[in-house]
Amino acid sequence: MGGNRGTLAFTIRGMARTGRPRRVLCVICNGHVENVGRLSKRGKCRDCGKARMFDNLDQINASAGPFYDHWVRRSFMASRRALVELANRAD
């Protein structure tokens, strides 16, 4: 039992709390953690996360692009859900 203890400790340290192995590559640029620093919970490095955020904001301000389309769909569905709940309360 003592021989496996080191291996077990290494495995536990290398695992996330969810039981999955920790990410070591950025999902966008494939940069390694040693080169790009910490990754977000969704697996993006700081530079890629900021670039994605600014792209998102630019598209919402321009009212065009895939991020904008996603935002419109989600906003529409949220407002529709709220209207259905209000209609059900009135009945």
Tokens of 72: 């419109």
Residue 11 has pLDDT above 50, yes or no: no
DSSP annotation string for 72-87: HHHHHHHHHHHHHHHH
Residue 16 has pLDDT above 80, yes or no: no
State the CB neighbour count (10 A cutoff) for residue 6.
Answer: 9
Per residue in 32-55, pLDDT tens? 999 999 999 999 999 999 999 999
Which range of residues forms the domain containing residue 50? 22-90
pLDDT of residue 20: 72
Count of structural domains within the chain = 1
Higher-pLDDT residue of 20 and 89 is 89
Question: Is residue 48 domain-resident?
Answer: yes
Per residue in 64-85, pLDDT tens? 999 999 999 999 999 998 888 8
Question: Is residue 10 domain-resident?
Answer: no
Rounded distance between C-alpha atoms, residue 11 and residue 74, angstroms: 40
Question: Is residue 3 domain-resident?
Answer: no
Question: Is residue 5 domain-resident?
Answer: no
Question: Is residue 40 domain-resident?
Answer: yes
Average pLDDT over residues 6-16: 50
